[in-house]
Structure 1
Amino acid sequence: MTPALPLAVLGLVDAAFSGFRAYAGRDARIRKHRANLRAALRGLTVGAVLLLAPVLAAAVLLLTAVDPARTYAVLAAGGTGFLLPLTLYAAATLLSLAAYFVLPFRAGTLAMVVGLGPLTLLRPLALAAACLGSVLNGGGRASLLVGVLAGAAVLAVEPAVHRRWYRDVHR
């Protein structure tokens, strides 16, 4: 099985959360579900566009390869290596989110502050670990290129959404 689909899902979910983070804290209204959803959809849209870069890079690598089957195998191995650290990171994030929703208010808030706060700051390190995992799993330069492009894409979503829609929001 190719790791492309799980990686795409992780990238798009991360993009939606990035859109939410770009908006979070900028609106003092109590009922802001629509605004939160709009921000997440903006992040998802920007992320989908930015994640086309690694997809196109992989396509170019495959189309220009002397041995496309070998290049595909290398990219798949690299993608699997890229996926492993990100799966651990996503599991920790989901555990923190689950604690927030399941635990009583104070404990849930603590789980959010102790879990999601540091995990958000660790995103670049998780992506660096994913790139390293890609190379160590046999992906070589080709998968490292695709991984770096994917990492740069997901890290660029939040600043892009913030700059485009939320730079001057004061309510």
Structure 2
Amino acid sequence: MSVKLKLKNSKETAQVDDKVAKFLNENPYLVKVGFLANLRRHSRGYAFFQKNWPLGDGSYKNETIYLHKLVAEIFCKKKATKERLFVNVINNNPLDCRLENLEFATRSVVVRNVNKTENKFGYKGVIKSGNKFKAVLFNNRVRLDLGSFNTAAEASAAYKKKTAELFGKGKK
């Protein structure tokens, strides 16, 4: 069963499991700082808490807690590795903080799972080379050129096919 958490600045809600909601409602520190009452939606879609605490010298200390990171750190298993691990939101919905939707993963896995593209063609893994479009993929820091195509859509299809082959269907 899951619980929906209201966000202070949005009509959207964040979703967590029952045991996570219980923890958030009973943790003495989170209750003291008003974590749930001040949960907001970040411009990138994540649920977060942020508070500025006044210090004695007139300055402030900023505290920011992202809901997905808090939930993962407390409830998700972290595999033993020398690589730095990040919280991956499996279904790409940053407000879905249910345990089945969070995992620790390397940066390459997290980046591969993001929908965002920053090229002008609108397709992930597509670059222009002369009058053609190339599909390019990186695996273990090794560049794989997947071929040249007449259209960006054809290059994107090749990229998606190879990505599914290498990393499974759920990854972009």
Greater helix content: 1
**TM range, smaller chain:** under 0.3
TM-score by length of 1: 0.23
TM-score by length of 2: 0.23
Look at both structures and tell me which one has the larger radius of gyration over its CA atoms. 2
Taking CA–CA contacts closer than 8 Å with sequence separation of 6 or more, which of the two structures ends up with the larger relative contact order?
A: 1
Greater strand content: 2
